[in-house]
Structure 1
Amino acid sequence: MTGRIIAHRGMSRLAPENTLAAFRMMAEHGVQWLECDVDLLGDGTAVLLHDTQLDRTTDRSGTIADLTRSDLEHIDAGSWFSPAFAGERIPTLDQLIDLLNALELNANIELKSPVGGAAAGRALVDTVLKALDRLDPDRRIILSSFNHLLIRRAADQLQGAPTGASIELACLFTRESLREDWRTVIEMAGAGIVHPQDRGLTRAEVETMRAAGFDVNVWTVNDPARANQLLNWGATGICTDVAHLLIRGSAGRRSR
């Protein structure tokens, strides 16, 4: 199995998702790429959290809009997964940047779609892009989103910007949103990568996307046989909860 193996929310079967513990664990398994979700707290701090609500993956209730950076040190984001991870915190994007540089990891950062209107969307994109300026030049980043207007914003902001770390843009699609106009959507968004859902994805679709010149990273694939099939069809990457298992099928080679 060859191709980019992307650890969905980090090593999320071995550690609490979207935490530094889940990302640090990648190095010991030879996984080079992580996927994470980024959104803004009420004070504009960029943090890694999938849900708007805190209940599922922390010991707090409410929404991230109710929080400020100073609240993070009092929130447990690990005990829900296992007592061994008690005290794990919701990471900030700045902490992720430091980790990527230190461990020489690459990241697919998903921009969550803010509920606070256009101003919130612009703030999210601009905050993330500013944070990425601190990346070492040899780091690689994919910014993705289901909200393709956020990707368009990122494309506009990156145009003519000084080059540092490699930043590519991707449009995420569910099975239902992957319609016949997918190429128009991607090109108008300014993206160069397609991130389709695995469910129902066909060989013809993958081959058409690749023939059109787009990389194709499929989410979320946890069956090694299916992952191998997709890569044989021409998919360039697999986003998975079990990167530690799929990486073994890559003959121990690091995915880049």
Structure 2
Amino acid sequence: MSDWPYPFWIAHRGAGKLAPENTLAAFRLGARHGHRMFECDAKLSSDGVLFLLHDDTLERTTNGRGVAGRLCWAELAQLDAGSWHSPAYAGEPIPTLENLARYCLANDLLLNIEIKPTPGCEEATGCAVAQLAARLWAGAATPPLLSSFQAASLRAAQQAAPELPRGLLLETLRDGWLDTARALACRAVTADHPQWTPDTVARAQDAGLRVLSYTVNDEAAAQRLTALGTDGIFTDSVDRLGAASG
């Protein structure tokens, strides 16, 4: 793997808000807009299957109810993850992480997998994501970037597959953020985009870390981050920002 093989623009949850997030339909739409790298959220079912969902609970983006991680995959697979968005996507299922991985590999697309554990499953989810990624991307030129807000998940991923690159996710650059990223041997820090200033960008890059930003949906913010010399942007505006570009 080259020092940093990932494109500058990363399509958030597949296609931002243009399609139901974290569904294969969303990733296909993002790819049709020209994006070559995507972000997804991965969590564990009660019987150990990794699937795509952002929230701990099912209500916002499916017709299910309750904590998603407490259901087995056979139950999750029956849910409608598209009707909440629009009738055109009615019946769109929740995909497994493996299904998305195979789609990306077959189409030469890159992935940032956010480890999104159900509370109490931080280590198990981090380990499972890293093990699956190491198996599916074995021999691939560019592995996925594994990221999380949960240090315990990143630590478990590091132990399970130390060769895979990791990124620390942060809402704020709280005290000790740089030490945490170093301790986890991260390659990148991804923060809410207003957190990046000339000083914080310099501190991260001087430590050998790449600087990524979420979630940027307007051109002015993107221009500011570009001028700062940051290394990547996550966007919902997949039809306007970064389309058909690297």
* TM-score, shorter chain, exceeding 0.5: yes
Q: 2-side partners of 1:31 and 1:172: how far apart?
A: 22
Q: In 1, distance between residues paired with 2:145 and 2:239?
A: 21
Match of 2:155 in 1: 152
Q: What's the offset of the Cα at 1:200?
A: 4.2
Counterpart pick for 2:34 among 13, 26, 30:
30
Q: Contact conserved, 1:97 with 1:131, CA < 8 A, in 2?
A: no
> What CA deviation, in whole Å up to 9, does each residue of 1:198-247 have, x standing for no partner?
13432221122122221011111111121121022011000111122111
- Which residue of structure 2 aligns with residue 128 of structure 1? 129
**What is the one-letter code of the residue matched to 1:247?**
G
**Among 240, 243, 246, the residue aligned to 2:241:** 246
- DSSP-derived class of the 1:37 partner: strand
Question: Does residue 190 of structure 1 match 2:185?
Answer: yes
Spell out, residue by residue over 1:60-105, the C-alpha distance to the aligned partner (whole angstroms, 9 max, x if none): 1111133211123421000000000001011111111111112211
Residue pairs, 1:226-245, within 5 angstroms: 226-245=221-240
1:48 counterpart = 2:52:
yes
CA distance in 2, matches of 1:173, 1:66: 26
Q: Which residue of 1 aligns with 2:79?
A: 75
* Partners of 2:147 and 2:168 within 8 A in 1: yes
Q: Is 189-198 or 129-138 further displaced after alignment? A: 129-138
In the TM superposition, residue 15 of structure 1 has moved relative to its aligned partner by 0.5
Runs of 4+ in 1 over 3 A off after TM superposition: none
Whether the 8 Å CA contact 1:111–1:143 is kept in 2: the answer is yes
Judging changes above 3 Å, is the alpha-carbon distance between structure 1 residues 182 and 73 closer, same or farther for their aligned structure 2 residues?
closer
**Contact 2:39 2:111 (8 Å CA) reproduced:** yes
Query: Given residue 114 of structure 2, which amino acid in structure 1 is its aligned partner?
Result: E
Structure 1 runs not aligned, ≥5 long:
162-166
Aligned residues, how many?
239
RMSD value over aligned CA atoms? 1.8
Give the residue type in structure 2 aligned to 1:70.
A
Identity of aligned residues (%): 38
Deviation, 1:32, is 0.8
Letter in 1 for 2:83: S
The farther-off stretch of 89-98 and 132-141 is 132-141
Partner secondary structure for residue 165 of structure 2: strand
| Superposed displacement of residue 108, structure 1 | 0.8
Which 5+ residue runs of structure 2 have no aligned equivalent?
1-6
Aligned 8 A contact 1:42 1:68 in 2: yes
Matching of residue 61 in structure 1 with residue 56 in structure 2: no
* Partner secondary structure for residue 229 of structure 1: helix
Distance in 2 (CA, whole Å) between partners of 1:241 and 1:13 is 6
| Residues in 2 aligned to 1:210 and 1:190: alpha-carbon distance in whole angstroms | 14
> Counterpart of 1:134 in structure 2: which amino acid?
L
Distance 1:155-1:54 versus aligned 2 partners, 3 A rule: same
- Indicate conservation of the 8 Å contact 2:127/2:153, yes or no: no
Shift of the alpha carbon at 1:158? Answer: 2.2
Mapped contact 2:126–2:155 kept (Cα < 8 A)? no
Which of 184, 207, 212 matches 1:212? 207
Normalization by structure 1: what TM-score?
0.87
| 1:203 maps onto 2:198 in alignment | yes
* Displacement of 1:40: 0.8
1:164 maps to: none
Aligned mates of 1:222, 1:144 — CA distance in 2: 21
SS in 1 for 2:159: helix
SS at match of 1:205: helix
Residues 238, 89 of structure 1: alpha-carbon distance in 2 compared, 3 angstrom cutoff: same
Using the size of structure 2 for normalisation, the TM-score is 0.91
Deviation at 1:29, TM superposition (A): 1.4
